[in-house]
């Protein structure tokens, strides 16, 4: 496994739109493992492939909480959102910066897991915030874009 270089703002590659993953194979599994290693090395809780200059729709999340095992979301799509919450967020791609962001309190998404199986995730609180933050990265959206 390898620790990947995290792109930092104002690197223009952070604005690239990630492409859907077409086939989950050994190469994709390698990317996922490297993303987890990279995230852990920076004490992060979420990482989008765009942040490590891989422009594919892959997200890894580990909230380091017993009730939430590490998750992989490939080609995630928001299905439903409800409620509003506001939280101070940070980003590995914008070191030293934090901003209060308003997001949906509850979300439901569809995605593929690491085995290529369609999964549906209902999330609230920190997990919902983290998923929305990482989905933003896949669309080239950063914390600084929020008012």
Q: Which active-site residues does the annotation give?
A: 134
**Residue 64: which region, alpha, beta or left (left: phi > 0; alpha: psi -120 to 50)?**
left
On whether the CB atoms of residues 91 and 133 are closer than 8 A, the answer is yes
């Amino acid at each position: 496994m390898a620790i990947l270089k995290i792109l930092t703002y104002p690197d223009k590659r952070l604005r690239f739109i990630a492409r859907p993953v077409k086939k989950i194979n050994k190469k994709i599994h390698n990317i996922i493992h490297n993303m987890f290693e990279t995230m852990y090395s920076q004490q992060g809780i979420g990482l989008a492939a765009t942040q490590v200059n891989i422009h594919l729709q892959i997200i890894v999340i580990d909230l380091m909480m017993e009730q939430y095992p590490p998750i992989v979301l490939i080609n995630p799509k928001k299905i439903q959102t409800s409620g509003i919450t506001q939280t101070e967020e940070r980003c590995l791609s914008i070191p030293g910066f934090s901003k209060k962001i308003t997001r949906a309190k509850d979300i439901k998404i569809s995605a593929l897991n690491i085995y290529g199986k369609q999964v549906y995730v209902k999330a609230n609180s920190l997990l919902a915030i983290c998923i929305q933050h990482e989905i933003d990265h896949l669309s080239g959206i950063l914390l600084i874009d929020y008012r």
